Amino acid sequence: MKLTNQELIRYSRHLNLPDFGIETQQKLKDSKVLVVGTGGLGAPLLQYLTAAGVGTIGVVDFDTVDETNLQRQVLFDTSDINQPKTAVAIRKLSAQNPGVSFVEHNVRLDASNAFGIIKDYDVVADGTDNFQTRYLVNDACVLLNKVNVYASIFQFEGQVSVFNYTFPNGEKGPNYRDLFPTPPPPGMVPSCAEGGVLGVLPGIVGSLQASETIKVITEMGEPLAGKLFLFDALGFSTRTMNVRKEPTNPISGDHPTITELIDYDEFCGIKKLDTTKIRSINVSELKEWQETGLDFQLIDVRENYEYEFSNLGGLHIPVGVIVNHLDQISREKKVVVHCKAGGRSAKAIELLQTRYGFKNLYNLEGGMVAWQKEVDKSMELI
């Protein structure tokens, strides 16, 4: 469908650009882009692709809006808390540009549905925050011959690249597995929830990701294919590294061994938490241990800001860095590990037991939430 008169007015600042014109804007309208993730990167990415006039935008996410998202995910506000991110995003983006069609994929992208979702799009923009999905998106794009515009953020740093791009001479560019042949060990790289992220960083990096997506669609400029752009917000420094194709790449190298999607949790060493192997105590038992003077160690694995706000006086080792402090964890006495509600501490215990041989660990059931409810109602939590 050709651009309408109203659209010509809306996109007039594009049309005024040298060598852009109506034909290039039409390419945007005719394109279909899948955005994987509506979080810190996905928010600015979606907003700028919508404003630019990409004709069809698919939105993939399975999460709901959480209050902790609002510090950086500028597409959402307080009234959106607990609502599905995809629905909220599409509602707001539709108001931003009624001329864009949106397709909602309120699901967790995995090996069972990735082909069915990705096949209908021209370009995939990956704004996810875990290695399993990054490898999944990469492999699906390579096998389906789709361009993968990649970005990631961590604390104060971000990176952007364009994977599986076909150059004008017909040569295929490198993909994610050329840059990262293997994932890091589980727990080695903290998530944004564990390690934190500067609120404005995803806005900067997500905007760069949107720019690369538009360049791929319009065939203008030189996309970051075969290159990795690195940005450091604290030092305000940038550098661009070359990425080369590796003959040993298992999906696109000289002798490919991956011809279909695999189990990416297994590939990344992620195992389902087996709580049956984790011993636990409740808050009443912990209180009794304290009052009777039992010799035990208490470890708090929450983040710094949580611990500083309120704590039970235990040794503070955030879960994201716990493997760097093994020498501080007793192997002789009983050790009680806790977090806010019991989830992070259970993961920490499983890691310490399975990889480092600890046999004296106990998870505090319900964590600080249970302590506040059953022991100290005056305690405030965040």
Q: Annotated active-site positions, please?
A: 192, 339
**Helix residue ranges per DSSP H, the chain:** 5-10, 12-15, 21-30, 42-52, 85-96, 114-118, 131-144, 176-179, 192-195, 201-218, 264-267, 283-291, 304-309, 343-356, 367-374
Strands 315-316 and 296-300: what pairing? parallel
Q: Count CB-CB contacts under 10 A for residue 275.
A: 12
Q: Which residues of 360-377 are buried (b: 16+ CB within 10 A; e: fewer)?
A: bbbbbbbbbebbbeeeee
Q: Could you say which DSSP state residue 69 is in?
A: G
Measure the CA–CA gap between 311 and 160, rounded to whole angstroms: 39
Q: Where are the beta strands (DSSP E) in 243-360?
A: 280-281, 296-300, 315-316, 334-338
Please give the structure tokens belonging to residue 67: 């209050």
Query: Of 58, 60, 59, 54, which Cα lies nearest the Cα of 100?
Result: 54
| Sheet bearing 227-232, strands edge to edge | 101-105, 56-60, 32-36, 123-126, 147-154, 157-163, 227-232, 237-242
The β-bridge partners of 230 are: 159, 239
CB–CB of 40/72 below 8 Å? yes
- Looking up tokens 């109506």, which residue turns up? 22
